[in-house]
Structure 1
């Protein structure tokens, strides 16, 4: 019988390309059953990107770039970053939903718009278009 690791934290130092590395860390922590992930440098984009599929998060100010401790609740199946960031008009949004998400009303595409960072459903409600940052489901 083997020993079970009780350490529930994964630490990731993302210096370059912070969004893909942070999402990869969240994805890997979900797959291995971790309960929380420490991501640095912190970014509002990362927290906004996974707003409904994570538990609570805590921002820690370390007088540098900051850290975010994300509590995972086991609801993320896959995350991804879209690079290059394609311009998406409101009329083209459904095409991207079909292309990136596995089923209707399952998952979110994250857009950066002139009104801020939001998911595709909120962008549809506000009638704004923008650039695709990433997706998760």
Structure 2
């Protein structure tokens, strides 16, 4: 995350290539260490439908994951406000990384990838989303990244 530019870092070009992920604009990039970034408003616009449609999170849980109040979340959904606090930006970045990691871990079963955040989990009790609401999104991100690393 780069607060000065208001961009969320999704990873490096090399990580995208290694995991078979694509994003317009990175195909011709020669530097494998170049960072893949999105403006905060774009990152949020992509994340909110993941919450609702794929992960099936209610608005209350979405607000708790982002550490915002219900009225702020409503403005986010309306596109009339974007996060500016560092913690919120970090959470958006972490949640995008969750999504990407799950797509890599379950490439043949997107339904399982989408259900994983709310399913019971013996390491992230009681579920990854509940764990993140109480302890933050970073721990779940680290867990998923360790699973990717093998």
- Normalising by structure 1, report the TM-score: 0.27
- Normalising by structure 2, report the TM-score: 0.25
User: When you count strand as a share of all residues, which structure comes out higher?
Assistant: 1
